[in-house]
Copies of this chain bind each other. A is one copy, B any other.
Amino acid sequence: MKTALTLEALQVIDAIERKGSFAAAATVLHRVPSALSYTVQKLEQDLGVTLFRKEGRRAVLTTAGRHLVERGRQLLQAADTLAADTRQIATGWEPQLRIAIDTAVALGDVLPAIAALYDQQPAIEVTLTTEVLGGTWEALLEDRVDLVVGGIEEMPRHKGLRCEPWQTIRHVFVAAPGHPVCQAPQPLTQDTIKAHRAVIIRDTSRNNAPLSRGILNPQQFIEVPDMAAKVEAQRQGLGVGYVPLASVTQAITSGALVELSVEEQRAPETTFLGWRSTYRGRALSFLIDTLRLPEAHAG
């Protein structure tokens, strides 16, 4: 499988197409027309395809030639990007960083760190995704992301992965003010809670066994895709459940939701940062360091 193509030949036919003639292309490429003629003939021979036919005194692309030029430009573009990315990696800064944020994390706790990263390295491409429960770790295991922010529970043991505690999240039990559970005597017992429909977040992970999250089974429930949907569902009285305090402080002060005390207080939950230990670029290191420091580690 030898590749007849060369990037240099693609550049040549690209220039010819853009400038409209061998002569003009030779000028911009700082070469002499016969050199281009040579390159094109060699390419045509290697490929076994006629790329230009003479029409009057100028050469014009054949259908195959046009296809080669158009796709070839994408190839050249990709080659340039690859070269640039490689150079950037050599400086220690990765060209892009993929981050999975657990839906329980307040985005406002993460964005300042990313802003600081942009200050350091404006060219870096950051991709954020939000995941639920096991979804963050799964994304890391499958190498779909480089960093997990706010992963719940200790990460699955796996060599090549590292994690460390990050924030502590306090969960509160809330319901809409008109919801029948508000009539029950507080602190609520487990039995009282189980008598009402729960709003739970559907685990985005598919392969790993879903983490059953504080919901005892016989309870009725409605599944929603993320934390914002859960809060909204509870506001509308569709169900009840625990949510991170930070995600509902406004709703509580405005009266849209009320916090209810419960008998068995749910323990504050530790969330984690996780990444691959095999290679840590400067952007990843910077982001981890930034996330470690300034947070008040909101309870």
- Residues of chain A at the chain B interface (Cβ within 8 Å): 1, 3-8, 11, 47-50, 62-64, 67-68, 71-72, 74-76, 78-80, 82-83, 85-87, 89-90, 279, 281
Given the interface contacts A63-B279, A71-B85, A90-B64, does A3 sit within 8 Å of B48 by beta carbon? no
Enumerate chain B residues within 8 angstroms of A1, measured Cβ to Cβ: 80
Residues of B within 8 A of A72 (CB): 82
* Alpha-carbon gap, A75 to B81, bound state (A): 11
B residues within 8 A CB of A3? 7-8, 11, 76, 79-80, 83
If A68-B82, A72-B82 touch, does A87 touch B11 (CB 8 Å cutoff)?
A: no
A68-B82, A71-B82, A80-B1 in contact; A87/B47 too (CB < 8 A)? yes
Select A49's contact among B71, B74, B80, B87, beta carbons within 8 Å.
B87
Query: What is the oligomeric copy number?
Result: 2
A79 with B8: CB separation less than 8 A? no
Per DSSP, chain A at the interface is helix
- Kindly state the separation between the CA atoms of A279 and B61 in the bound complex, as whole angstroms: 13
Pull 27 A–B residue pairs with CB atoms less than 8 Å apart, ordered by A.
A1-B80, A3-B7, A3-B8, A3-B76, A3-B83, A5-B7, A5-B79, A5-B82, A5-B83, A6-B6, A6-B8, A47-B87, A48-B90, A49-B86, A49-B87, A49-B90, A50-B90, A63-B89, A63-B90, A63-B279, A64-B86, A64-B89, A64-B90, A68-B86, A71-B85, A74-B78, A75-B79
